[in-house]
Amino acid sequence: MATEYKNDPAAAWRAMKDSSVRTLSTVTLEEAQAVIGRMESGRVAIPPYGELALTILREAKIGRQSTNQFHVSEQTFKCLDCRDSGIVNVWNPSFVESYRNEFASVVRTEYDRGEKITAKQFDLNRFDPEETITAWIYDPPNWEWLATKWWRNHSDGYGGATNHVAMCHCDGHRTEVLRQELASWCAGTRKNKHGERASLPACGAARYNPSKMPRKTAMPFDDLTGWYATHAVNEIYSWQP
């Protein structure tokens, strides 16, 4: 297929989609969603993109062999903040509040698909010929890295990282385990396998507070834009993790 569509990426993209449709023709929507849910929770390894359809088909067949009701009884996430992991990735509120004015200078514009592609640019049309994806260009393009550097200099090392992990506010099993581990650490009784005092659990010492801590997602620009639009200046005052 690589040779046949070498000069026609749009046709290659359509052929790939048609192939996936044929592969998944016997898989129900519920079965596919259940398999993807197991990928998100770590029970099934996420395959390379080209093997995704075959992996879903294989896992769906395994589910049918286990029990006819396997996918019907599949549980969804009880907590969408941490996805039942007990841990939430959050922005450091001190950084977010301090960076408000600096962030205002970051400019985001939609990717111009009609612009001539140069050697340094990414040809989105090659991978998305039907223009279903909205892509963005940032000025400066490395604004998040610059924000980290700015915060390091601005806070003089006192304010911590721009983002970190926190223990979720839900009552899930893993969150409860983290609470117990944190309490053990505070009491000085948390030990490692060698019997020595262990470090903080994975959540660190921070507890997730949705009213003060913005969630950090795969869209950092949207994270901060949404927070600044709905929270007044100095609303959170000073805060340390």
Report whether pLDDT(228) > 90.
Answer: yes
Q: Nearest to residue 79, comparing CAs of 176, 163, 164?
A: 176
Q: Nearest to residue 104, comparing CAs of 233, 238, 228?
A: 228
Q: Is-cis flag, bond preceding 141, omega within 30?
A: no
H or E, element range at 174 = helix 173-186
* Amino acid identity, position 27: V
Residues 162, 144: Cα–Cα separation, whole Å: 10
CB 81 within 8 A of CB 208: yes
The two three-digit tokens of residue 43, written as one number: 């029970």
Percent of the chain with pLDDT over 70: 83
User: Once rounded to an integer, what is the mean pLDDT over residues 220-231?
Assistant: 93
Q: What is the DSSP string of 65-117?
A: HH-TTTTTS----S-TTTTTSSEEEEE-HHHHHHTHHHHTT-EEEE--TTSPP
The reply to whether the predicted model has a pTM over 0.85 is no
40 vs 147: which has the higher pLDDT: 147
Report whether pLDDT(230) > 50.
Answer: yes
Dump pLDDT digits (tens) for 65-117.
Answer: 665 444 444 557 788 888 888 889 999 888 998 899 999 999 999 877 777 76
What are residue 88's DSSP bridge partners?
166
